[in-house]
Amino acid sequence: MTFTRRRMLVLAAGAAAIPILPLAPIPAFASAEEAAKLMADFAAGKEAVAGKLKLTAPEIAENGNTVPITVDVDSKMEGDDLVQSIVIFADGNPRPEVATFHFTALSGTAAATTRMRLAKTQNVIAMAKMSDGTVYMDKKEVKVTIGGCGG
């Protein structure tokens, strides 16, 4: 058998691809139970209550690749009324914990805007942890017409 330059390039490309195969992404979706566990971990045993936190998300997302999300907490940002962090969860995404925002008294307000990918129609949940340990939550269902993460 003679080795041509083309055959050597094919063999080299095949040999280079072998170590990469185990690293190939495998599509997977998190279960609602996984998202619930992450939310319970964030709440650290506290009961999440509705109230000061407002989550703004579209009811229908035309494209799951870029869904605008805004979170805002009605807070004085001082003393026990200081927002420490806000986490956004999507209970049907491969990774339910989408974004985390941290705040200090110097932040002035506890508000953030971002865009996120949603794989399918699902609940988007925002949770805010206050300096006194109180946890607030708001939840919206977003209907996705064209998938962002999973097609």
According to DSSP, residue 65 is labeled T
- Closest by Cα among 132, 48, 147, 134 to 89: 48
The domains of the chain are located at 28-144
What is the token pair recorded at 131? Answer: 């300096």
Alpha carbon distance 48, 59 (integer Å): 23
In this structure, whether the domain defined by 28-144 belongs to CATH 3.40.430.10 is answered with no
- Give the model's pLDDT for residue 87: 96
Residues contacting 129, CB < 8 A, separation 6+ = 42, 43, 44, 83, 84, 85, 86, 135
Both tokens assigned to 93:
């995404």
Report the pLDDT value the prediction gives residue 151, as an integer from 0 to 100.
47
d(CA 133, CA 125): 19
CB 98 within 8 A of CB 90: yes
| The pair of three-digit structure tokens given for residue 6, joined into one six-digit string | 């083309």
Considering the entire predicted model, what is its pTM? 0.76
**Residue-by-residue pLDDT tens, the chain, 151 positions:** 676 777 777 767 766 656 554 555 544 556 678 888 999 999 998 899 998 999 999 999 988 899 999 999 999 999 889 999 999 999 988 889 999 999 999 999 999 999 999 988 999 999 999 999 999 999 999 999 875 565 4
What is the full DSSP assignment across 12-63?
Answer: HHHHHHGGGGGGS-------HHHHHHHHHHHHTTPPEESSSEEEE--SEES-
